Amino acid sequence: MDLRMFIGGRWVESESGETFEATNPATGAVLARLPQGTREDARRAIAAANAARDRIAGLTPWERSRLCLRIAAVMERRQEELARVLSQDQGKPLHTEARSEIASAIEGFREAAEHIKWLETAVIPVADPHKRVFSIRQPRGVYAIVTPWNFPFNIPVEYLAPALAAGNAVVWVPAPTTSVCAVKLAECLEEAEVPPGVVNLVTGPGPVVGDEIVAHPGTDAVGFTGSAATGTHIAARAAGKPLLLELGGNGPTIILEDADISRAAECAAFGCFFNAGQVCCATERILVHERVHDALVDGLLAAARQVRLGLPEDEGTTMGPLNNQPVAEKMDRHLADAREKGAEVLFGGQRAPGFPTDLFYQPTVVDRVPEDSLLNTEETFGPVVPVLTFRTHEEALAIANACSLGLVSAVFTTSLRHAHHFAEKLRTGIVCVNDHTDYWELHIPFGGVAGKRSGVGRIGGKHAILEMTDLKTIAMDVR
C-alpha cells in the first residue's frame, strides 16, 4: 500500500520521490510505503498553511466548533478501522487499548468544540474614567506540531483539536514509526471538509522535516510531545516562538506505611504495564516504605503474572510489543545497569522468545534498585516495575525529587495530612493521590513543573486553547 502526504488539501508524494516502509512491530510485516519528506516538502506545507491561516482564523467560534464536531463524527464512523490500524502500526492491544484510544481521540474533538464556545475573556477595571479596557483571544497563526509514536491518534488530537478550535493553521510531522495512523487521521480531516491548507501532514525523519517546521520563520508557534532531550533541541531551534512542550517523565509512586497495599500494588502495576510502559506519565519507579515492602512486592509480582503478552489483535492480549528497537534497547541497557549495581530481577527481565519479532518484552519486576541506577534516574519507557525502599518521608521526597524530570507522581496513603504534604512537596506538574500516574482526563491541565525538564505549558481542554491563542488587550477611549 502506497500512502501520501497531505499538503494544501492534496495528497502528494515527496519532491524527492523517496519513500520509507512502515512495519508492524508485532509481526514485522510491511504495512505501507510512505513519502520520505524533505525540507522542501516541509516548506511547501508551511506555505500552504500561511495561505490558509486567514480562512480558519476568520471562522467564528461556532463555525470552528461545528468543524471539530464534523471531524469527530467522521472518526466515529471509521472507529473500528482506525483502531485496527492503530493496533497494527503501533503495536498496542486492539481490545484493551487501541479502541479506547480512538474513543478518547474522538472525544478530544468534541470537547474542543465545546470549550471554544465558552472561552470568555475579561473587561478590566481601570483608573482612567475615559477608558474601557477589555481582552480578546486570537489565534497565534501557523503552528508547527511534532508528535510521538506512543499514542499516535490521541496525542495529535491533543494539539490539532485546540489548534483548529482556536483558529490556527497547522503543519504536522508525526513519528515515522506510526505515520500510517497519521495518514488515516488526515483522511478523516479531509472527509470532514477541513479547509484546504489548514492542516498539512508531512511524513519523514524528525531531524529533517520536523526541524524545518519548528525553525522556519513561516511558523509562529510550536507544539511537541516527546523526550526531554528532543524538546530541549526543539526549544533552541524555535527560539523566540511560543512553545507548548509536553516532555518526558520518570513518574515516582510513593507507597507510605499506612497505604492500602492491595490497591497500591494494583495501581502501580497498571501504571508500569499500560501501553507496555510507553507512556510519558508511566509509573517509572516505586518508592515503598520498608515496613510494607514485602507485601507490596508480593502484590506487584501477582499483577505481573496476570499480564498476557501477545499479538495485539488476539482477544486475550493485555500487553503487546514495544514499538521500535531503540526503546527495546533502552530496556536492555537499563536492566543491565541495574543488575550490575546490585538490583534483583524478580520477574521477567528480558525480551520474550517465541514471537514473530524481538520487540516483545517480558513484564519485569526489579527489587532493591539503587538510587544511582538508570532505572531511577532516567525515563525507561518500557514494561518494568523498579522498586526502591525508604525509611522516612523526608528520604522518600528526596529520592523522588532528585530526578531532573517532573511530570507526574503519585502517593498512596490513608492519611489526609500525608496526602496534602506529599501533594505539595513533590516536584511534579501533577500529583495523583491513591491512583496510578496514568490517570488523566482530556480536560485536565497536563504538563511539567518549572525547574525540571518535563516541558512548558499545559495541554488539556481549555488549557490547550489558552496556550494556543494570544491574549490581546484593547483599550478604548470613550470621550
Question: Residues with catalytic annotation?
Answer: 246, 280
- All three cell numbers of 157, joined, read 488530537
Sequence-ordered strand ranges (E) for 125-261: 131-139, 142-146, 169-173, 199-201, 221-225, 243-246, 252-255
Residue 290 burial (C-beta neighbours within 10 Å; 0-12, 13-18, 19+): exposed
Q: Are strands 408-412 and 252-255 parallel, antiparallel or unpaired?
A: parallel
The distance in angstroms from the start CA to the end CA of the chain is: 67
Q: In sequence order, what are the residues at sequence separation of 6 or more whose Cβ sits closer than 8 angstroms to the Cβ of residue 237?
A: 211, 214, 215
Q: Are strands 30-35 and 123-124 parallel, antiparallel or unpaired?
A: unpaired
Secondary structure class of 79 (helix, strand, coil): helix
CA–CA distance, 224 with 146 (Å, rounded to integer): 5
Of 181, 209, 13, nearest in space to 84 by CA:
181
The radius of gyration of the chain from alpha carbons, rounded to an integer in Å, stands at 23
8 A C-beta contact, residue 206 and residue 417: no
Residue with cell 483539536: 161
Beta bridge partners of 410: 253, 432
Secondary structure class of 217 (helix, strand, coil): coil
Beta bridge partners of 6: 11, 201
Q: Return the HEC string of 203-261.
A: CCCHHHHHHHHHHCCCCCEEEEECCHHHHHHHHHHCCCCCEEEECCCCCEEEECCCCCH
8 A C-beta contact, residue 41 and residue 14: yes
Of 386, 292, 299, nearest in space to 344 by CA:
386
Beta bridge partners of 351: 361
Residue 17 burial (C-beta neighbours within 10 Å; 0-12, 13-18, 19+): exposed
| Amino acid code (one letter) for 242 | P
Beta bridge partners of 411: 254, 433
Of 53, 42, 38, 59, nearest in space to 7 by CA:
42
